[in-house]
Amino acid sequence: QKEVEQNSGPLSVPEGAIASLNCTYSDRGSQSFFWYRQYSGKSPELIMFIYSNGDKEDGRFTAQLNKASQYVSLLIRDSQPSDSATYLCAVRVNTGTASKLTFGTGTRLQVTL
Amino acid sequence: GAVVSQHPSRVICKSGTSVKIECRSLDFQATTMFWYRQFPKQSLMLMATSNEGSKATYEQGVEKDKFLINHASLTLSTLTVTSAHPEDSSFYICSASQRNQPQHFGDGTRLSIL
């Protein structure tokens, strides 16, 4: 079983729709959860992070965390063609100092006109 | 804020050459820096974790004598690929974080060994 699992996609949504990206993780000790966006040929860019159960909103983005189900998701409202990218879910187990991230393989999102 | 600069962005060199990549945190002190490698259409693979002033911790399967990491200050870490060969061609990306803050990534270095 992979430590962090994501559907590779592509997930295709029309412009203006809501894109829902999902991620599950296996380590119950995970405490911090991150979503990164990576355009083709570029490095990852931090979109959202969430530490507590529930929802966290930032502009068009909402991260949702359910630790009991070991599930984290990212919703993108009013999807735009510029949102087309690979979205990486990352999980961290905090050990007192900056701890390493475990990444999923990413979900490729395509926003169509 | 949280800007990480990585240089060079692209390197093309002959087999057997050693290549140094620099990673700098520009507006914060990075207590920890991380080095990743990414092959086409694959996810990020962590190579090593580097804390300022101490030896890097390498992931299993990563040769520490081939990938030399130096983290001499709170704003600079370097990765040297020694005696590079074509199989070392990849996209190398650094990230930096301050204590338990999120990691921020540099723009990456595309390394091509002929």
B79 contacts B92 by C-beta, under 8 angstroms:
yes
> In whole angstroms, what separates CA A50 from the centre of its chain?
10
**Residue B17: pLDDT over 60:** yes
Tens digits of per-residue pLDDT, B61-106?
Answer: 999 999 999 988 889 999 999 999 999 999 999 999 988 789 999 9
**Residue pairs spanning A and B at CB distance below 8 A:** 52
Residue B62's pLDDT is 95
Q: How confident is the model at residue B15 (pLDDT cuts 50, 70, 90)?
A: very high
**Whole-number Å distance between alpha carbons of B33 and B56:** 9
> CA-CA distance, A111 to A80, in Å (whole number)?
6
- Chain B residues whose CB is inside 8 A of the A105 CB are 42-43
* Residue of A45, A100, A104 with shortest CB distance to B49: A100
Residue A6: name the closest of A88, A62, A66, A111 by CA.
Answer: A88
* Residue B109 confidence (pLDDT): 98
Interface test with A, best of B6, B34, B43, B52 (most A CBs within 10 A): B43
Nearest CB among A43, A49, A106 relative to B43 is that of A106
- In this structure, the strands spanning A107-112 and A54-58 are unpaired
Indicate if the pLDDT at residue A1 is higher than 80. Answer: no
Quick one: average pLDDT of B48-53?
A: 88
